[in-house]
Structure 1
Amino acid sequence: MPTVQEFLEILQHITPEHLAEDWDNVGLLVGDSRQPVERVLLALDPTCQLIEEAARGRYDLVLTHHPVIFRPLKTLRTDTVTGRILAEALRNNICLIACHTNFDSVPEGVSGHLASVLGLRRLGPMLPSKSGCPETCGLGQIGEYAAPITAEAFVARIYRALDPPWLLEAGPRPRQVVKVAVCGGSCSDFAEIAGRLNVDAFLTAEVKHSVARWAEDAGLWLLDGGHFSTESLAMQPLCERLRREVQQRGWAVTIEVARQEPPLRLAKRSS
């Protein structure tokens, strides 16, 4: 049975920690690196419900995209949400690992998978990584379609691939779409980069009001597919990659993805 440290070494190969942004917090955040690992649960978000599910399922390790500890803690109170998550994890000997911007930056990470499910080819990063990487690493992805498609067809691809609870747009729709930039999660600050790269569309999430106004004047078609929907699809491919890695090593480790729903939803009007 492998240890958490041996599992971290696999992750270091898939999502190297040196690719994480300076402001980020990744790696083993809770638990003992010497602890044996038999069951692993993956999810996008660290939540109380997730840790309860992990405890019921007797998982030793929980790997999330978003880190449970993001900003430095000044206190550890169990009457807070973060404190409850940490206390429940420690109580049940569950280690917590985060693969955040390091998973964003690898070619087969969050944005790479988002670009692939939309059918984009000839991919490369929007913002290349400054850290060393054997492949082309960086935040966001830019790709192309082999032949132009209509804006309406691109919207249909987003709905089909992501099934988002909403899809917002700003700026003018182009007559055709060939070159596209995508960045899973909150990347509206990259809109000007997308504009300079002369893309026909930029898909991301959590678009700020000021950025949407800028897109109108800049002539950039900007789409907001929601933070959860633009990132969550990448967890299953990561799970499958980890399964192959542990199988090659002959480890009897169960790896599964937890089912999570978007935390935000459209409020329906009462009749």
Structure 2
Amino acid sequence: MNTTLADVLGTVESLWPESGAEPWDAVGLLSGDPAAEVRRIHLAVDAVLDTVDEAVAGKADLLIAHHPLLLRGVTTVAETRYKGAVLARLIRGGCALLAAHTNADIVASGTSAVLAERLGLANLLPLVPAAGDPATGIGRVGDLAEPTTLGRLARALADVLPATAQGIRVAGEYDRPVSRVALCAGAGDAHLAHPEVLAADVYLTSDLRHHPASEAVENARVSRGPALIDTSHWASEWLWLDVAAAQLRDALPGVEVTVSDLRTDPWTFAVV
């Protein structure tokens, strides 16, 4: 029996329910015919021209991207603009597009949970628990199996994450003791003042801006607060793709599922 896009949508809903998405998010099916057959699924963090071309060249029937293509208001899908070009290439290539974003962040095997597990954190709890289910939510907080230093943790993280031009930025002393870790895969500066973050030895996230990071560092000097580790947004979420692919393969036997290795971090090199 053929697997249809509608079948895949049912599986995706069971894995990453749309009800778990933030109100501002734009998850779910963005383009494609639910009645179409799906034999190959390709996964990527971003639906950009390179990952779309990769999906179409690999004869994928569906591209699942973590980041929604149409998150913000769009007034044109002309092919002279990036989003229009992406949709046109997908439609011509017979490849549907689906986004699993914050609804894939909060689940037990979501982006932050995968990152925490790769770092070997134990006693994991959500940083911001989801309503009605304290086992799920945004971010994670946990304990290292053995205390280490901030510098050694950053080096261990470099071994876990794919390399990017930005590398890993750290605010804190190299030899600072670290045992309790709070983290949020993707952009997490909204949680810098969260009590669990303030009580941790280090907070690991992405896209930290100058002023929020500076304020957090200075507050830690006069009161309390964690050291900071800032990683590539793309890299921190890319780890989740392999877990998501394995879940899809288990749920959809006979459907080929591949993961993009393309680095879609927007920065290409750094000068120091």
Q: Same fold per TM (> 0.5)?
A: yes
**1:125 alignment counterpart:** 126
Question: Aligned pairs, how many?
Answer: 263
**1:256 alignment counterpart:** 258
- Is the CA contact (8 Å cut-off) linking 2:32 and 2:96 kept in structure 1? yes
Equivalent residues in 2 for 1:99-178 (5 A)? 99-130=100-131, 132-133=132-133, 136-165=135-164, 166-171=167-172, 175-178=176-179
Matches of 1:99 and 1:57, distance apart in 2: 21
The amino acid of 1:264's aligned partner reads: W
Equivalent residues in 2 for 1:44-83 (5 A)? 44-83=45-84
1:67 aligned counterpart, secondary structure: coil
- 1:104 and 1:215, CA in 2 relative to 1: closer, same or farther beyond 3 A? same
Q: 96-105 or 185-194: which moved more?
A: 185-194
**1:39 alignment counterpart:** 40
Q: 2:229 aligns with which of 213, 219, 223?
A: 223
1:115 aligned counterpart, secondary structure: helix
- 1:65 and 1:95, CA in 2 relative to 1: closer, same or farther beyond 3 A? same
- Is the CA contact (8 Å cut-off) linking 2:120 and 2:145 kept in structure 1? no
- Is the CA contact (8 Å cut-off) linking 1:117 and 1:161 kept in structure 2? yes
How many percent identity over aligned positions? Answer: 32
Q: 1:227-266 CA deviation, whole Å, 9 max, x = no partner?
A: 111111110111011111113xxxx211101221133143
1:189 partnered with 2:151: no
* Runs of 5+ unmatched residues, structure 1: none
- Is the CA contact (8 Å cut-off) linking 1:174 and 1:221 kept in structure 2? no
2:142 aligned counterpart, secondary structure: strand
- Is the CA contact (8 Å cut-off) linking 2:154 and 2:229 kept in structure 1? no
Deviation at 1:196, TM superposition (A): 5.4
**1:246 alignment counterpart:** 252
1:268 partnered with 2:264: no
TM-score normalised over the length of structure 2:
0.91
1:136 aligned counterpart, secondary structure: strand
Matches of 1:153 and 1:172, distance apart in 2: 11
Matches of 1:203 and 1:110, distance apart in 2: 13
- Is the CA contact (8 Å cut-off) linking 1:54 and 1:62 kept in structure 2? yes
Deviation at 1:194, TM superposition (A): 5.4
1:234 aligned counterpart, secondary structure: helix
Provide the aligned C-alpha RMSD in A. Answer: 1.7
After TM superposition, where is structure 1 displaced by more than 4 Å over at least 4 residues in a row? 171-174, 194-197
TM-score normalised over the length of structure 1:
0.91
Matches of 1:62 and 1:163, distance apart in 2: 21
1:88 aligned counterpart, secondary structure: helix
Q: 1:28-72 CA deviation, whole Å, 9 max, x = no partner?
A: 011111111111101111011222222222111110100111113
Matches of 1:56 and 1:145, distance apart in 2: 42
- 1:185 and 1:122, CA in 2 relative to 1: closer, same or farther beyond 3 A? same
The amino acid of 2:258's aligned partner reads: E
Matches of 2:75 and 2:37, distance apart in 1: 30
**1:201 alignment counterpart:** 202
